[in-house]
Amino acid sequence: MRYSILLLPIVLAACVTAGSSDGRLTIETASRGQAITGANCIVATGAGNWNVLTPATVLIGSAGGDLGVVCNKDGYRPSELIVHPSAPVYSGSNMGVGVAGGNGGSAVGLGINFPIGTSGGGGYPSHVTIELTPQ
């Protein structure tokens, strides 16, 4: 029984789950503050390329290299956006257990940190708006 308290951090860490983004990217185009629909855009990451017509939502998955979006529409100059993925933020459990004694007894402490996965702040943005300039 006296050593079972030392297993508490490990048992609690097993219950921690990490959040994840759904890997979707919404792409819109605008000019001078007004939304523009029907622009042809190519979305590219290290994982692949997608051709879309704005507004659109693309399932690009997790970050894999820079995100590039190039949009074209008649009457507007081609426009390009490059986004570097942000660093992931690791979530985990921070557990601590302390046992103390009295009357000349000893004290024992234990601390454990388990990085479990990424949670927010990492990857690509979920929404981008590409600014188109009239020709």
Walk along the chain (135 residues) and give the pLDDT tens digit of each residue.
555 444 434 333 333 333 335 789 999 999 999 999 999 999 999 889 999 999 999 998 887 788 999 999 999 999 999 988 876 545 455 555 555 555 666 555 555 545 555 444 468 889 999 999 999
What is the pTM assigned to this prediction? 0.59
Q: Identify the sign of the CA torsion 15, 91, 27, 35.
A: positive
Q: What is the model's pLDDT at position 8?
A: 39
- Name 58's Cβ contacts closer than 8 Å, sequence gap at least 6: 24, 25, 27, 43, 50, 52
Residue with tokens 């503050």: 33
Query: What pLDDT score does 100 carry?
Result: 55
How far apart CA 100 and CA 44 sit, in angstroms, is: 57
Q: Which residues contact 53 (CB under 8 A, 6 or more apart)?
A: 38, 39, 40, 41
110-125 per-residue burial string, b: 16 or more CB within 10 A, e: under 16: eeeebeeebbeebbbe
pLDDT number for residue 18: 33
Question: How far is residue 80's CA from residue 77's CA, in Å, rounded to a whole number?
Answer: 10
The parent domain of residue 101 ranges over 4-131
Tokens of 91: 């979530």
**Local structure of 133: helix, strand or coil:** coil
Number of domains in the chain: 1
